[in-house]
Amino acid sequence: MITKTQKILGPALTPLGKAYGTVMGVRSRMYGRGTFSRFDPECPCVSVGNIGSGGSGKTPLAGWLLDWALSQGLAPALLSRGYGASPGKLPYLVKPESPVQEAGDEPLMLAIEHPGAKVVVDPVRIRSASWLSRYYSPGLFILDDGFQHLAMRRDLDLVLLTPEDVGEGWNRVIPCGTWRESVKALHRADVFLIKGPAHEFDDMGDALVRRLERFGKPVFQFALKPASLRRLAGRETRPSLAGPYLLVSGVGDPVQLERTVNSFMGRPAVDHVVFKDHHAFGGDDVSVIRKAAKSAGAKEIVCTPKDAVKLKGLGTDDFWTFNIDLEFERSLFFDGTDPVPFDRWWNLERINLDNRK
């Protein structure tokens, strides 16, 4: 999300953003020309990444792809750089019982929710891919946050955009915005996906055409839909909660999360305690949360699945978190293709070995 400071200092920061974008563009061209070598995995590889930073839904979409691959018998493996992780050795195979301090919050969440897949943390993803190929013979690599990771060849680049990316954040490269590369980088994308409700996607129609038609790639909408609630400890689940509740989050886009939760619960939280993305929760944080709940009159405390893996074990057995589904509804094609949602468009042919780049 673009900060107030970035908006105020935009004219002064724009030259720096252009310079950074130029450097990243040169890097991309050098990989494209073969100046820098690239690792070519033996199995198909799909990158799930973005042009900006945070809040675009990469992790839920990667999880959906893992489930799809498992349903196809592909033995998928997810390669994560492990933001915030401190593993004792590398590569680090994440297991459902792994300590969150070693695995990182998102890799651990994926390992818990998709136990049939291999989730590996290593900032050098060429190394983790080679290690997995040697010992586990995966059928599909999911390259998490991989759009800028050009050292590894991929079959498809799925690029996630936020509504802000298509709006006032368009082509605002750091430090004047959140983009990691300039707009020219989007020519490398094979598919665009935008997280948000179907009606917001419809409202963005003109902007989507204006911004993305030039690339000629399909654009899909998806939304994160809470399906039910579950206790952090035990197996208790509920379709919803009747009383006042407090929301806790440490995610990239807390505003969008709040809208999603409010819609699911049918009413707003009495308070929303916001921590920075990937916050490492501790006992003091739990005390702050409980104090906020008491002050607001909340009977229940609800957190995100990503935060749940860090809060669990800190005396939070009574907290609730969500079971999340992905819902695909809208799409936009620029080649005359009839609109179909992503989950109907996506199939084995998209990752055929004969279609490698």
Helix (H) or strand (E) holding 130: helix 125-135
* pTM to 2 decimal places: 0.90
Which pLDDT belongs to residue 357?
42
What DSSP string runs through 74-102? --EEEEE--TT---SSSSEEE-TTS-HHH
Which pLDDT belongs to residue 356?
46
- Alpha-carbon torsion (79, 182, 178, 302), positive or negative: negative
107: number of Cβ within 10 Å: 30
Per-residue pLDDT of the chain (357 residues; tens, 9 = 90+): 667 676 666 677 778 878 878 888 888 888 788 888 788 998 999 999 999 887 789 999 999 999 999 999 999 999 999 888 899 999 999 999 999 999 999 999 999 999 999 999 999 999 999 999 999 999 999 999 999 999 999 999 999 999 999 999 999 999 988 999 999 999 999 999 999 999 999 999 999 999 999 999 999 999 999 999 999 998 899 999 999 999 999 998 898 899 999 999 999 999 999 999 989 999 999 999 999 999 999 999 999 999 999 999 899 999 999 999 999 999 999 999 999 999 999 999 998 645 444
Domain ranges of the chain: 33-195, 226-324
For residue 102, what are its two tokens? 């070693």
- β-bridge mates for residue 237, sequence order: 230
Q: Quick one: fold of 226-324?
A: Rossmann fold (3.40.50)
Closest CA to 326 of 124, 113, 118: 113
Contact 91, 85 (CB under 8 A): no
Contact 129, 39 (CB under 8 A): yes
- Alpha-carbon torsion (122, 126, 132, 134), positive or negative: negative
Rounded Cα distance between 203 and 196, Å, is: 11
For domain 33-195, which architecture applies?
3-Layer(aba) Sandwich (3.40)
